[in-house]
Structure 1
Amino acid sequence: MAKHEDELDQIKSQIQEHLVSSGNYDAINKQLKLQLYEAGWFDKMSQIANRELLENEGTRNFDQLYAFMKPKAEELVPAKVKEDILEKIKAYLNDIIE
């Protein structure tokens, strides 16, 4: 199974490299940021982080705060945003495969 995961990681890395070199990574990233901003995701994340720091009296270091925030950040991405970005990536991959 580790070999399969290594191969999958390698494919993901190749796709990302191709996205970056073609300039599509930046375009997709900008769209993602815009949609997250419009959905209020950044504000929600800021509120959660501030509340967590206040409740723990600022004793959390960056790594602890990151570990706490990461699953919440992923969970709070609106389904529509995920769908839109996934469609962009699929369309890009279909273009380069054909």
Structure 2
Amino acid sequence: MAEKDLDQIKAQIQDYLISSGNYEIINKQLKLQLYESGWFDQVTQLASKELQENGKEMTFEELFAFVRPKAEKFVPEQVKSDILEKIQDYLEDVVQ
């Protein structure tokens, strides 16, 4: 499957989730689980440390590029699986 096709499918899924109100539910659940897991604190500490070391020379884009891959790795596996399961549940209702 071409990348263009995948992007189109992703856009359709996101449109469905938004229009059905499920996107907001998933988003709230994700934020809550990330907060409860300490993810926000980890990312804040990482960004603060990087700014202290290189802050005067860093743009927001540079800080974001530095933090993003590490922040993604900090997301607990349980949070990832919970959110994916929730998305799959909503999409199964559509497919059936």
- Fold match (TM-score > 0.5): yes
Task: After TM superposition, give the deviation of residue 59 of structure 1 in Å.
Answer: 1.7
Scaled by the length of structure 1, the TM-score of the pair is 0.95
> Are the structure 2 counterparts of residues 57 and 65 from structure 1 closer, same or farther at C-alpha, using a change threshold of 3 Å?
closer
**Which has the higher relative contact order, 1 or 2, with Cα contacts under 8 A spaced 6 or more apart?**
2
Scaled by the length of structure 2, the TM-score of the pair is 0.97
How many residues are paired up?
Answer: 96
- Consecutive aligned runs of 4 or more in structure 1 exceeding 2 Å deviation: none
What is aligned with 1:55? 53
Higher helix share: 2
Match of 1:95 among 90, 93, 96: 93
Name the % identity: 60
Cα RMSD, aligned residues only: 0.9
Structure 1 portions without partners, runs of 5+: none
- Map 1:1-98 to 2 at 5 A: 4-98=2-96
Q: Distance in 2 between matches of 1:65 and 1:47?
A: 13
